[in-house]
Amino acid sequence: MTVRTRFAPSPTGYLHIGGVRTALFCWLYARRFKGTFVLRIEDTDRERSTGEAIQQILDGMKWVGLDHDEGPFYQTQRFDRYKAVLESMLDQGTAYRCYCSKDELEQMRTAQTARGEKPRYDGRCRNRTSAPAGAPFVVRFKNPLDGEIVVEDVVHGPVVFKNAELDDLIIARSDGTPTYNFCVVVDDMDMRITHVIRGDDHLNNTPRQMNMLIALQSPPPVYAHLPMILGSDGAKLSKRHGAVSVLQYRDEGFLPEALLNYLVRLGWSHGDQEIFSRQQMLELFDIVDVNKSASAFNGEKLAWLNQQHIMRAQPARIVEPLKWHLQQLGVTADSDAQLELIVLAQRERAKTIKEMAANSVFFFKAPAAYDEKAVRKHVNAEIVALLRELSGRLSTLTPWSAEAIHESINAFAVQMGQSLGKLAQPIRLAVTGGAVSPPIDATLAILGQQQALARIAAACDAWSA
């Protein structure tokens, strides 16, 4: 059997991390077993589905790198197919027209509640032989009345549903449009989906969908219902926990590989390993290893993983996102080579690329002011005189490299009977305006000889005024 999985988001909102985790598990399973990954847009909710949401799904999937082999397929473009299957089911007697009015259904439910019964459709139109002239109707699936349906769920194990507890589901509305559960069944059948991997909030839909597939003489796929992702407080995941658009994580400076690494660990594990490359996930992931317990979202853990991926990545990998974040701050880099040096200097000091960009603006803009507290602590007339003399020596330094700069400053400090630290902090203040930066030799090397000496000279003039 060739594995065929599908990710089928509804474009009624943004693609958030719960959806991305589902897509990731579907994608990994298909890739692991040399199968096919299908992208399907379930846009039958015409009132709530938007083109903007569809584009956001496509952009989000592209950013995280979960490429699809087939699709995207849109349910609104398949209405003729759904209509044909509905007519076939009506002809074969596996579906029927229901003429019950809203008032009649409400009276039925009220009576059931009064008797202490669970409100459900009682099948009164199931064997109806005549139809009221011109009366509106819905189409219902004729669910089996007895026996049971067993969902052999890969995650939860066997889940048994009594057919007698499943009422006859509406599969087409009175305006003729098909309903969600019916469209899903036809799509999974037509697209030959072998494994349905989705959130466990869909588990209660599964027995009805399986019964419809059996009625259509189509073998049901293998089902795997994923545990929920909860907030750190145990409540349902919401915006305040991190259930925001996946593209917001991009805008906050997270790497897609770090986000996927974090999401794969929500419900799945491989020993005690925490950090996974995309290739390692592809080699190790199997849906049978997913546990059934809900997972808690932890933003701090995600930030830690992001920093680990930043530190492990080739500097060139970080250049483009760093360039984008710098542009948001009104900064344009001189060259990719310069950005690679900044990445090497800053990657252990930033949990996100957005933070790295904010910490690196001084490389491109001379300080407009200096940290007053740090100046009072580290700068005096003697230091200013030493910096001027040091600048004279550095002006002839060649090559202008971190190693050469370190040796030159260190030799000058020894000659002047000063500690390296006593000189390094005033230099840092002069070139950055603050008291925090990468090592001063690396900082000066990245700035370049002309810019570094100009900033030292400007600071000395300011401090002497």
Q: Does the pLDDT of residue 333 top 70, yes or no?
A: yes
Q: How many CB atoms lie within 10 A of CB 32?
A: 16
Q: Which residue is listed with tokens 């594990």?
A: 269
Nearest of 277, 273, 243 to residue 260 by alpha carbon: 277
Average pLDDT over residues 241-251: 86
β-strands 95-98, 70-74: how paired?
Answer: unpaired
* Mean pLDDT score across all residues of the chain: 95
Q: Quick: pLDDT tens for 175-193.
A: 999 999 999 999 999 999 9
Crossing angle for the helix pair 336-346 and 315-328, to the nearest 10 degrees: 100
Active site residue 239: yes
Cβ-contact 357, 322 below 8 angstroms:
yes
**302 contact partners, CB below 8 Å, separation of at least 6:** 242, 254, 258, 259, 262
In this predicted structure, the answer to whether residue 381 has a pLDDT above a threshold of 70 is: yes
Residue 126 — φ and ψ, nearest 5°?
A: -60, -45
Does the pLDDT value for residue 13 go beyond 90?
Answer: no
User: Residue 372: its pLDDT value, please?
Assistant: 96
CA pair distance 170, 141, nearest whole angstrom: 6
Give the pLDDT of residue 233: 80
Contacts of 252 (CB under 8 A, 6+ apart): 352, 354
Q: Which residue shows structure tokens 């474009």?
A: 11
Beta carbons of 171 and 182 less than 8 angstroms apart:
yes
Contact 447, 438 (CB under 8 A): no
pLDDT surpassing 70 at residue 367: yes
Which of 62, 162, 236, 239 is an active site residue?
A: 239
Q: CA 186 to CA 179: how far, in whole Å?
A: 11
pLDDT at 243: 65
Asked if omega into 399 is within 30° of 0 (cis), the reply is yes
Whether the CB-CB separation of 424 and 375 falls below 8 Å is answered with no
Q: pLDDT value at position 49? A: 85
Contact yes or no for 206/151 (Cβ under 8 A): yes
Quote the tokens at residue 67.
């490429």
Q: Kindly state the tokens that stand for 211.
A: 């019964």
pLDDT on residue 431:
98
User: Going by C-beta distance under 8 Å and a sequence separation of 6 or more, which residues neighbour residue 90?
Assistant: 96, 97, 139
Cβ pair 60, 247 in contact under 8 A:
yes
pTM of the model: 0.93
* First-last CA distance in the chain: 81
